[in-house]
Amino acid sequence: MTQFPVKDGELLIGGISLSQLAARVGRTPFYAYDRQLLNQRIDALRAALPPQVKLHYAMKANPMPALVCHMASRVDGIDVASAGELKVALDAGANPREISFAGPGKTDAELRQAVAAGILINVESFREVPVLATVSQALGLPARVAVRVNPDFELKSSGMKMGGGPKQFGVDAEHVPELLGQIGAAGLAFEGFHLFAGSQNLKAESIVEAQQKSFALALKLAEFAPAPVRFLNLGGGFGIPYFPGEQCLDLGPIGSNLADIVGQAATKLPEAEIVIELGRYFVGEAGVYVCRILDRKVSREHTYLVADGGLHHHLSASGNFGQVIRKNYPVAIGNRMDATETESASLVGPLCTPLDLLADRMTLPKAGPGDLAVVFQSGAYGASASPQGFLGHPAVTEVLI
Ligand SMILES: *Cc1c(COP(=O)(O)O)cnc(C)c1O
């Protein structure tokens, strides 16, 4: 993976050789996230997108507190999906006015915390309106709300669809006018709309199409709004390449399209700030998962490298987090980057289940106990998206370098 250089046969993470980093961390397995790569990604987005577009970090992709803190000081807002994430975002110093809260099952207690914090709540159900009205009255603070719309279209070629058709997310577009009426009647502070159609998309033209349709839908719905639209979150869904043959997302057409939307918004929704929210795209390529090989076994001519890490820390790489057909994440032996002798081997974890597979029959440098296996593209949906309690192994360590 080109984002991490190699020196003297060792991968460098944040400028530190992998062996030295492992010694510094003091144990394996661990995740390491590279600050410079996070910064580069933010800079690349700012360069490609119009300056008026606000960048929000959807912290469910990686909620490590130090990383959220790093992001909070560099992006324009943080999107949270629970009161637990809200606490991390507030602790990280994010401005409450620039925090938004989405989620299909917000508890009354979470809604109360959100109103008290002064953040923007993306309303996803008629049920939330009277709860927010009661809480607003009790606290003497009007709830700031946007409506999360389940659009009447889908994000084409998306890895995970989260809008269009029947969905548990948001309110179906056709019922939004009625919801807006209730929000107005309840005296909540209406601020805008949130549309999120899907995740992990590598096709710029699909993202452009979804953003155009989202903008058109928001314009229609704005006619029913009890107050001017000040905040229009057009979602994200920007993907990163994981598997052979996948190409990086081309930001060029997305930037031009957003410039066009910003131009139209200037007259049609003059008070609106255009926001996109990204998780994986900000952090995914900046992180690696590192585990140490414990054993090398040959079973009927097939080589297994048995590592101290596996699916309990990295469910996504094992293929059990939303993959339909299992494919290998990019994997390397990080302390043998110059090796010339290779073999076909499977990298497996210590769990007593055949699902604990990090690389299936991959060509890797010949490796054995003590070597460090590295899974790239691991900065998003890693530690926090894995069943760490499964089989009772120690929890993973995370470092930001
Ligand atoms: C999961 C999620 C995101 C982040 O998605 P990525 O694919 O990681 O960019 C953004 N917004 C909402 C509402 C989400 O649920």
Q: What is the pLDDT of residues 266-314, one digit of tens each?
A: 999 999 999 999 999 999 999 999 999 999 999 999 999 999 999 999 9
CA gap 15, 276 in Å, rounded: 31
pLDDT surpassing 80 at residue 161: no
In a domain, 105, yes or no: yes
The DSSP element (H or E) to which 25 belongs, if any, is helix 18-25
In a domain, 50, yes or no: no
The pLDDT confidence band at residue 163, using thresholds 50, 70 and 90, is confident
In a domain, 48, yes or no: no
Q: Which of 73-87, 144-158, 170-184, 378-392 has the lowest mean pLDDT?
A: 144-158
Residue 70 CB–ligand 1 contact under 6 Å = no
pLDDT for the residue numbered 285 = 98
CATH classification at residue 235:
3.20.20.10
pLDDT for the residue numbered 343 = 97
The residue whose CA is least distant from atom 2 of ligand 1 is: 58
* Same domain, residue pair 70 and 12: no
Number of domains composing the chain: 2
Residue 398 CB–ligand 1 contact under 6 Å = no
Residue 233 CB–ligand 1 contact under 6 Å = no
Ligand 1 nearest atom to the CA of residue 199, by list position = 7
* Same domain, residue pair 260 and 354: no
pLDDT surpassing 80 at residue 256: yes
* Same domain, residue pair 116 and 28: no
Among 278, 306, 340, residue at a domain's last position: 278
pLDDT for the residue numbered 1 = 72
The pLDDT confidence band at residue 197, using thresholds 50, 70 and 90, is confident
* Same domain, residue pair 97 and 18: no
Over residues 221-225, the mean pLDDT reads: 98
CA gap 8, 20 in Å, rounded: 13
CATH classification at residue 376:
2.40.37.10
* Same domain, residue pair 101 and 236: yes
CA gap 257, 289 in Å, rounded: 35
Residue 68's identity, in one-letter code, is V
The domain of 163 spans: 63-278
What's the mean per-residue pLDDT of the chain?
96
The pLDDT confidence band at residue 159, using thresholds 50, 70 and 90, is confident
* Same domain, residue pair 172 and 223: yes
pLDDT surpassing 90 at residue 59: yes
pLDDT for the residue numbered 2 = 83
Among 245, 278, 311, residue at a domain's last position: 278
In a domain, 108, yes or no: yes
* Same domain, residue pair 101 and 71: yes
- Residue that the structure tokens 């917000």 belong to: 106
Distance 33 CA to ligand 1 centre (A): 19
pLDDT for the residue numbered 136 = 98
Q: Burial letters for 11-35: b for 16+ Cβ neighbours within 10 Å, e otherwise?
A: bbbbebbbbebbeebeebbbbbbbe
pLDDT surpassing 80 at residue 155: no
In a domain, 351, yes or no: yes
In a domain, 45, yes or no: no
* Same domain, residue pair 295 and 389: yes
pLDDT for the residue numbered 145 = 98
Over residues 223-232, the mean pLDDT reads: 98
The pLDDT confidence band at residue 337, using thresholds 50, 70 and 90, is very high
pLDDT for the residue numbered 164 = 76
Distance 199 CA to ligand 1 centre (A): 6
CA gap 31, 401 in Å, rounded: 10
In a domain, 40, yes or no: no
The residue whose CA is least distant from atom 4 of ligand 1 is: 279
* Same domain, residue pair 254 and 231: yes
Ligand 1 mutation pick, 42, 45, 57, 79, max ligand atoms within 8 A of CB = 79
The pLDDT confidence band at residue 31, using thresholds 50, 70 and 90, is very high
Distance 389 CA to ligand 1 centre (A): 25
Residue 378 CB–ligand 1 contact under 6 Å = no
Ligand 1 nearest atom to the CA of residue 235, by list position = 11
Q: What is the pLDDT of residues 96-134, one digit of tens each?
A: 999 999 999 999 999 999 999 999 999 999 999 999 999
Positions annotated as catalytic residues are 352
* Same domain, residue pair 373 and 253: no
pLDDT for the residue numbered 385 = 98
Ligand 1 nearest atom to the CA of residue 277, by list position = 10
Over residues 189-205, the mean pLDDT reads: 95
Instruction: Find out whether 86 and 64 touch, Cβ atoms under 8 Å.
Output: no
Ligand 1 nearest atom to the CA of residue 239, by list position = 7
Residue 278 CB–ligand 1 contact under 6 Å = yes
Over residues 204-232, the mean pLDDT reads: 97
- Beta-sheet pairing, 342-348 with 357-365: antiparallel
Distance 385 CA to ligand 1 centre (A): 13
pLDDT for the residue numbered 175 = 97
Cβ within 8 Å of residue 266, ≥6 positions away:
none
CA gap 160, 396 in Å, rounded: 26
* Same domain, residue pair 271 and 308: no
Better-scored residue on pLDDT, 239 or 164: 239
* Same domain, residue pair 211 and 339: no
In a domain, 129, yes or no: yes
Among 243, 261, 278, residue at a domain's last position: 278
Residue 62 CB–ligand 1 contact under 6 Å = no
Residue 102 CB–ligand 1 contact under 6 Å = yes
- 14 is written with which tokens? 């944040």
